[in-house]
Structure 1
Amino acid sequence: MNQQQLSSFIWSVADLLRGDYKQSEYGKVILPFTVLRRLDCVLEPTKAAVLKEKAKREKANVNPEAFLRRETGHNFYNDSPLDLKKLMGDQDHIHENLFSYINGFSEEVRDIFECFEFHTQIERLHRNGLLYLITEKFANIDLHPQFVTNAQMGLVFEELIRKFAELSNETAGEHFTPREVIRLMVNLLFIEDDDALTKPGIVRSLYDPTAGTGGMLSIAEEHLSGQNPEARLVMHGQELNAESYAICKADMLIKGQDIKNIKHGNTLSDDQLPGQHFDYMLSNPPFGVEWKKIQKEIKKEHQQDGFNGRFGPGLPRVSDGSLLFLMHLISKMRPSKDGGSRFGIVLNGSPLFTGNAGSGESEIRRYVLENDLLEAIIGLPTDMFYNTGISTYIWIVSNKKPKNRKDKVQLIDASGMWQKMRKSLGSKRKELSDEHIENITNLFGKAKEVYLDPETGKKLSGKVLAAGKKQAIPISRIFKTTVFGYQTITVERPERDENGEIVTEEKGKHKGQPKPDSKLRDTEDVPLTEEIDEYFQREVLPHVPDAWIDHDKTKIGYEIPFNRHFYVFKPPRDLDEIDAELKGVTDKIVTMIGELSQ
């Protein structure tokens, strides 16, 4: 049974729920039952051995837990004599027996079902006479890893969550990221460490503060184990949504990961892995979501802890908390002296440029760039995510930059690298092929400027570019970090009386000097790479000779105008061509009107 067939089969359970449940409530039943059946299948081969071991250890008055885990080969067990198929043999007592079976799981699994509030649904299904029918439906599908791989199971969960989120008008994109985007991010994360990651027995840590169902953690582990089977990736994560957390935790359990590292709660207001640092990090925080509900806690940490906390550089506007996650990840970076860290985060366009000099957003960008933490930004195609068609960007941030990247930032425009999906999924209409992922990874890995011939799509050589014989399309560009900085200067002009005479200050430290007219006040943004006085002499004084700069009000700002750096000028069409086109349209309209009047 392939992934699509499996999803359809599980989705068919909705037919049984229709009428007794609203569409938006289907997930409350289908998701926990899917997890239950998965765990049931995983433990089935060792069931007899576990029961035998339990009896043996209890007879000897020994706590059997550690022995039962050893028998299953997993970090969890179920010591009930029941399983889903045995439950089918006693229809009259399905209610009590299902509770008994779930209580037979080890504590970490029971916590998963508590997050689903599964007991509430069991009671409701029982009252509506549906419990046996639903349990029977799931007992008849085989979800053993031998037939349904962990990767397939992850895709099943993601598709189900997306469908349920659409039915309940929730934001599906808050739960998971398209797999091909994750593969690209993982490639970008590991490419500069390929040599180190091939060493036998190497152990590395990975963290996702918006873990969702665990897709990023899973793909990173698959990538590293494929590259080096002897490598070990210790995974950590935190997730706000209870259902997504429960699925992530179940997935980690089956894969043998330590689920104590997977936490439930709001990462920004309640960091449950305080003081910990990681080798690698990945995150796709929700786009443009306000943080008003946790504003009090965030502001308190910012004011009390400053740069010793997570939010020292500044706070973004309450309407978009994306940059809070960026700062949170920076605080989790392993110090450079201990090997450093690299992370990838998906953000929308707003964090690139929102906020004037001195604003929270600008100060956060300033901190990142002046500390030389930003390696690259990759612009993705639109329509890549399930819940939005907006432009998105992958930021690669590192405190262990290789020598050729020091004090530089690479911008890659991958917005044209996509293929159309055979079937749209929500707002997702485009996808990255394996070739696209490889091309983008290579562009990043080589860290060089790349331009394409607009006619052939082939890379242009340095000689052709230098000669300027062809209009070139930039794909990869390299900039010094200072290019993104500027100084906002305040340009003052004197107040004049009714006779046109300059009014002077009568007191204070500026006594006798021209009094500024607030109505004539203006600002100018001066590139950080340019002297303010030279700019002022050249750009301002020729137009307003009586102006001066109020240096006390000068502020430093940073923005990354991504699209501007990839703009290619297209000359307007010839006027004769436009006239001919207009005449053709006009003649067509006249002909149509003539036909109507006949």
Structure 2
Amino acid sequence: MDQPQLSWITNFIWGIADDVLRDLYVRGKYRDVILPMTVLRRLDAVLEPTKQDVRDMKANLDANEITNQDAVLRQEAGQAFYNTSPFTLRDLRNRSNQQQLRADFEAYLDGFSPNVQEILDNFEFRNQIPRLSKADALGTLIEKFLDPQINLGPAPIMSGDTVKVAGLDNHAMGTVFEELVRRFNEENNEEAGEHWTPRDAVRLMARLIFDPIADDIQSGTYLLYDGACGTGGMLTVAEETLRDLAAAHHKQVSTHLYGQEINAETYAIAKADMLLKGEGEAADNIVGGPEYSTLANDAFPSREFDFMLSNPPYGKSWKGDLERMGGKDGIRDPRFIIQHAGESEYSLLTRSSDGQMLFMANLLSKMKHGTPLGSRIATVHNGSSLFTGDAGQGESNIRRWIIENDWLEAIVALPLNMFYNTGIATYVWVLTNRKPEHRRGKVQLIDATTWFRPLRKNLGKKNCELAPEDTDRILHAFQTMEESEQSKVFPNEAFGYWKVTVERPLRLKVDLGEERLRHFRQACVGAGDAALAKLADFAAERLGAGPHLNYNDFSAKLKLLSEQTDVKLTAKRLKLIKDELAERDENADPVVKKIHKPGKVEENTLHGLYGTSQGIIEFEPDSELRDTEQVPLLEVGGIEAFIQWEVLPHAQDAWIDPDSIKTGYEISFTRHFYKPQPLRTLAEITADIRALEAETDGLLAEIVGAG
């Protein structure tokens, strides 16, 4: 059946909504009725030839008290589904009594196989029946779907030996259903983006994973997976792309689709679409509903897939999933707690406010490692996946894990306003565990933000699309890896850095003048320690008012004085002295934290260890002067050279804390593709000033003249 005929059928079904539902539902709710009714009519027509055989088999199984009937009834129906009720939709069309029609229609629905029941339950279609029946619209709705002008069955409608209305094969029926889904999603564009990725973006993603290996595809079976499959559009487009590619290379391929979706309605659409296409097994491999969160309840924990595509939710909290998985301290899911970089419990757990990168980790956990092609992945994210998360945090750890395993081929920046309900920047990540030789150790960034064509009419916030030539342009840049203003190639290490804590010594002086002592006495009163205040007064008499610029020397003398007055210098009292009596002074000597014996530790000024005649001195760091530096992994000479050139010239007493060093990764498109606006010339600025002066002079003359 050609495209104009399919469009005519789609338009006819679309028109049923306006004819029957206009006064019953707002337009955004038409799909709650039309989509499940389209599914029911197709299934009904497919099952008509074997209807009686199924009923007879059902009676026989019941008579023999056989309870496990599903497989036998599927076989009798010759389909992956069946209906054991005494009715077809044609049987219900002439019911004049609405109560009887409702009862019989509900019995008809109850007769479907469990897989169809699951679709109806997730559509919540039974909830619509009371409203339709009360408005006397149920019979009209059934009548419209049985209109002789359209045929949703696979067999043609004949008039003698002439085909009156052609039948719809599974592919054509799937096309009609997908077109209805697309229209309803675009009608409801504010929410469509949550479950519906624009087809232009999906086609690009499919080609990014298939085109590079077109010559390597062999005849055989391939598994495709989407962990946030929505209505299943990514899977079906990917399947069509792979089959077309294989056919062009004279290969025979078989595909199996797997998906998981938490939203009940979109899950029902995806599963129904598979059934309508005659892919019963594929329908069973679409798992979902509110209890099937991909993060907390992985439906395919032991499966590995050849090709994976996904558009996970952006900025969506996964706190509920985290709690179900045992919390951050209790989670042991091997998808998210892994071994990497010498860590046996390397955490990929991101902030609970946004779980999109965990969907990427889920895909990566399902890669095939024992096949020539391995796995190829395309997943679309917003910009936060490129840079959020500090070194050692989940988001950065995921990027590090990906890049250090050399799985990231490229990231493509898409045009703004590509999606229905958001105008934010979006990016397609292309990953594989079988990089070709010329890509190994490298990552390509492609700026495709200007490669698009505008839509004639906005669809929500979507105001542009990728034309075929735009997709080809992106694919050309990707496959050639040629450097240009829109395509740049970097070594993996270019995105990594060391985060280092830079310390400076605490420098304290002690002033035993009357004003400082008064402040200290008040602090001691607050702490209930009058004895310590007296010790300070005694120290002022013996040691003088100050300032005492060597805190360690002062502490040693104070200890001797405390022994004379029987005031023990406990840790609590020493802290009070340091906090309330001493004060920071950049001219004071550094406070010594510890003196190490020579031999046990070596002098290392970069790490804050200084050799003296007393031993190796370690100074106490000043938390107020503490800072961090990001040192690029590609820094010549590493951390030490960076500190020597970038830190010590400004702070000669600085050192780094070796235990603080963490490795992080971030990707900045702005840094690599930013094009600064050229500065205006002096002549242009002068001309503007003179124009403003002339304008104000004229205005002043006009005001004076008017006066």
TM-score of the superposition, structure 1-length normalised? 0.86
Asked whether the 8 Å contact 2:58–2:84 carries over to 1, the reply is no
Asked whether the 8 Å contact 2:379–2:428 carries over to 1, the reply is yes
Distance 1:310 1:205 in 2: 25
Q: 2:213 aligns to what SS in structure 1?
A: helix
Distance 2:699 2:94 in 1: 77
1:216 and 2:234 matched? yes
Aligned mate of 1:127, from 125, 134, 142: 134
Q: Which amino acid aligns with 2:286?
A: I
Distance 1:252 1:301 in 2: 37
Asked whether the 8 Å contact 2:315–2:353 carries over to 1, the reply is yes
Q: Which residue of 2 aligns with 1:438?
A: 472
Gaps of 5+ in 1: 452-473
Distance 2:689 2:143 in 1: 69
Q: Which residue of 1 aligns with 2:364?
A: 330
Judge which range, 91-100 or 317-326, deviates more: 91-100
Aligned mate of 2:178, from 147, 154, 157: 154
Shift of 1:195: 2.1
Q: Which amino acid aligns with 1:496?
A: R
Aligned mate of 1:317, from 351, 354, 370: 351
Q: How does 1:402-417 map to 2 (within 5 A)?
A: 402-417=436-451
Q: Which residue of 1 aligns with 2:482?
A: 449
Q: Which residue of 2 aligns with 1:528?
A: 633
CA pair 337-149 structure 1, distance change in 2 beyond 3 A = closer
Q: Which amino acid aligns with 1:39?
A: L
Asked whether the 8 Å contact 1:310–1:327 carries over to 2, the reply is no
Q: Which residue of 1 aligns with 2:491?
A: 480
Q: Which amino acid aligns with 1:450?
A: E
- In the alignment of these two chains, the number of paired residues is 565
CA pair 172-219 structure 1, distance change in 2 beyond 3 A = same
1:436-492 Cα distance to aligned partner (Å, 9 max, x none): 11121222222x2332xxxxxxxxxxxxxxxxxxxxxx2111111111110111222
1:389 and 2:423 matched? yes
1:503-546 Cα distance to aligned partner (Å, 9 max, x none): 32244767843322221111111111221111111111112222
CA pair 558-59 structure 1, distance change in 2 beyond 3 A = closer
Asked whether the 8 Å contact 1:363–1:558 carries over to 2, the reply is yes
CA pair 161-337 structure 1, distance change in 2 beyond 3 A = closer
Shift of 1:5: 8.1
| Aligned-residue identity in percent | 41
Aligned mate of 1:518, from 605, 613, 623: 623
1:495 and 2:472 matched? no
Q: Which amino acid aligns with 2:318?
A: W
Q: What value does the CA root-mean-square deviation take over the aligned residues?
A: 3.1
TM-score of the superposition, structure 2-length normalised? 0.73
Judge which range, 307-316 or 268-277, deviates more: 307-316
Shift of 1:331: 0.9
CA pair 490-139 structure 1, distance change in 2 beyond 3 A = same
Q: Which amino acid aligns with 1:96?
A: A
Aligned mate of 2:195, from 165, 175, 180: 175
Q: Which residue of 1 aligns with 2:308?
A: 281
Shift of 1:573: 2.0
Gaps of 5+ in 2: 155-166, 339-345, 510-548, 550-586, 597-608, 610-615
Asked whether the 8 Å contact 1:375–1:410 carries over to 2, the reply is yes
Q: Which residue of 2 aligns with 1:206?
A: 224
Q: Which amino acid aligns with 1:155?
A: E
Q: How does 1:344-355 map to 2 (within 5 A)?
A: 344-355=378-389
Shift of 1:105: 2.8
Judge which range, 99-108 or 297-306, deviates more: 297-306
Asked whether the 8 Å contact 1:335–1:341 carries over to 2, the reply is yes
Distance 2:328 2:591 in 1: 45
CA pair 339-189 structure 1, distance change in 2 beyond 3 A = closer
Asked whether the 8 Å contact 1:494–1:514 carries over to 2, the reply is yes
Q: Which amino acid aligns with 1:434?
A: P
CA pair 297-505 structure 1, distance change in 2 beyond 3 A = farther
Q: Which residue of 2 aligns with 1:572?
A: 679
Q: Which residue of 2 aligns with 1:505?
A: 592
Distance 1:2 1:578 in 2: 62
1:304-355 Cα distance to aligned partner (Å, 9 max, x none): 5365656753211111111110111111111246752111110000010012
Shift of 1:53: 3.4
Judge which range, 156-165 or 392-401, deviates more: 156-165
Q: How does 1:135-284 map to 2 (within 5 A)?
A: 135-140=142-147, 142-144=151-153, 146=167, 149-164=173-188, 166=190, 171-197=191-217, 199-200=218-219, 202-229=220-247, 230-257=252-279, 258=281, 259-264=283-288, 265-284=292-311
Q: 2:490 aligns to what SS in structure 1?
A: strand
Distance 1:401 1:241 in 2: 35
Q: Which residue of 2 aligns with 1:461?
A: none
CA pair 569-316 structure 1, distance change in 2 beyond 3 A = same
1:76 and 2:81 matched? yes
Shift of 1:29: 2.5
Q: Which residue of 2 aligns with 1:362?
A: 396
Q: 1:328 aligns to what SS in structure 2?
A: helix
CA pair 35-114 structure 1, distance change in 2 beyond 3 A = same
Q: 1:32 aligns to what SS in structure 2?
A: helix
Shift of 1:424: 1.0
Asked whether the 8 Å contact 2:14–2:180 carries over to 1, the reply is no
Q: 2:367 aligns to what SS in structure 1?
A: coil
Distance 2:374 2:365 in 1: 12
Asked whether the 8 Å contact 2:594–2:618 carries over to 1, the reply is no
Q: Which residue of 2 aligns with 1:50?
A: 50
Q: 2:350 aligns to what SS in structure 1?
A: coil
Q: 2:235 aligns to what SS in structure 1?
A: helix
Distance 2:459 2:668 in 1: 30
Q: Which residue of 1 aligns with 2:524?
A: none
1:396-453 Cα distance to aligned partner (Å, 9 max, x none): 111111111111111111111100011111111110011111121222222x2332xx
Shift of 1:159: 2.4
Asked whether the 8 Å contact 1:158–1:213 carries over to 2, the reply is no
Asked whether the 8 Å contact 2:335–2:362 carries over to 1, the reply is no
Judge which range, 156-165 or 6-15, deviates more: 6-15
Distance 2:337 2:500 in 1: 30
Distance 1:348 1:206 in 2: 23
Shift of 1:19: 5.5
Asked whether the 8 Å contact 2:413–2:447 carries over to 1, the reply is yes
Judge which range, 304-313 or 570-579, deviates more: 304-313
Shift of 1:550: 1.7
Asked whether the 8 Å contact 1:486–1:558 carries over to 2, the reply is yes
Q: Which residue of 1 aligns with 2:523?
A: none
Q: Which residue of 1 aligns with 2:121?
A: 114
Shift of 1:73: 5.7
Shift of 1:548: 1.5
Judge which range, 550-559 or 65-74, deviates more: 65-74
1:278-319 Cα distance to aligned partner (Å, 9 max, x none): 111110011111112222134548745365656753211111
Q: Which amino acid aligns with 2:486?
A: I
Q: Which residue of 2 aligns with 1:467?
A: none
Q: 1:429 aligns to what SS in structure 2?
A: strand
Shift of 1:395: 0.5
Asked whether the 8 Å contact 1:302–1:314 carries over to 2, the reply is no
1:186-216 Cα distance to aligned partner (Å, 9 max, x none): 111112321232x34x110000011111101
